[in-house]
């Protein structure tokens, strides 16, 4: 589909390129080219969001990852350093590597739920579907009984447009204590399926 979009763009078929870019965006398969087409061809709904993502993509790609790794060596709980490293991996097309890295850090007890949730949030922000599905699997393995993990996966599935999978996660936390994250997930799901 990316190839078709690129051809449509090159041939000046604005409507077709825009339609394919919208489809890729909706499928959480957006990259800078998709974002640029949505902005350049002024998609009526997604232009602003794509522009913001494109600006964020450009600024995130210049993180000082070496410095972030040094900070993590000294303070493994430094969420800002984790954000820099994870963002760098995502924007350089290595979302699945980010999941593998967090899995290793969790196994070594160098990371915790907050780092996993940060990974999920950044992947959702950057519309990284494949990485998100791997992150959900990682969360289920690392935090099988945590209502906050289930609540986070509700938000992930809603962000991916998968209300059925979100329903399964909501069902798993029906009796969970009402933490702010669980409440937010319940409210978000109720807006989709009242």
The CATH number that applies at residue 138 is: 1.25.40.10
Residues 80 and 53 in one domain: no
Residues 113 and 140 in one domain: yes
Residues 178 and 91 in one domain: yes
Residues 43 and 101 in one domain: no
Residues 22 and 82 in one domain: no
Domain boundary among 12, 41, 60: 60
Residues 47 and 70 in one domain: no
- CA dist 105 and 149 (Å) reads 17
Residues 70 and 55 in one domain: no
Domain boundary among 45, 60, 75: 60
pLDDT at 163: 92
Residues 32 and 108 in one domain: no
- N- to C-terminal Cα distance for the chain? 34
Residues 40 and 122 in one domain: no
Residues 137 and 181 in one domain: yes
Q: How many domains does the chain have?
A: 2
pLDDT per position in the chain (194 positions), as tens? 777 877 787 788 888 888 888 887 777 666 677 777 778 888 887 778 777 776 666 655 455 667 777 887 788 888 888 888 888 888 777 888 889 989 988 888 888 999 999 899 888 877 787 788 899 999 999 999 899 999 999 999 998 889 999 999 999 888 888 889 899 999 999 998 87
Residues 136 and 182 in one domain: yes
Structural tokens at position 17: 């390129």
DSSP string, 21-70: HHHHHHTTB--HHHHHHHHHTT-TTTHHHHHHHHHHHHHHTT--HHHHHH
Domain assignment of residue 24, given as a range: 2-60
Residues 118 and 180 in one domain: yes
């Amino acid at each position: 589909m990316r190839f078709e979009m690129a051809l449509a763009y090159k041939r000046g078929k604005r409507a077709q390129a825009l339609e394919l870019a919208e489809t890729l965006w909706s499928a959480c398969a957006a990259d800078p080219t998709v974002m640029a087409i949505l902005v350049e061809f002024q998609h009526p709904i997604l232009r602003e969001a794509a522009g913001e993502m494109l600006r964020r993509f450009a600024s995130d790609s210049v993180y000082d990852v070496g410095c972030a790794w040094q900070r993590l060596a000294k303070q493994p709980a430094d969420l800002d350093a984790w954000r820099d490293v994870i963002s760098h991996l995502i924007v350089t097309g290595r979302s699945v590597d980010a999941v593998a890295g967090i899995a290793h850090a969790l196994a070594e007890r160098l990371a915790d739920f907050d780092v996993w949730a940060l990974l999920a949030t950044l992947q959702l922000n950057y519309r990284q579907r494949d990485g998100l599905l791997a992150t959900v699997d990682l969360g289920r393995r690392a935090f099988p009984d945590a209502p906050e993990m289930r609540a986070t996966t509700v938000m992930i599935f809603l962000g991916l447009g998968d209300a059925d999978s979100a329903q399964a996660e909501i069902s798993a936390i029906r009796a969970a204590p009402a933490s702010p994250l669980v409440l937010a997930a319940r409210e978000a799901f109720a807006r989709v399926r009242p």
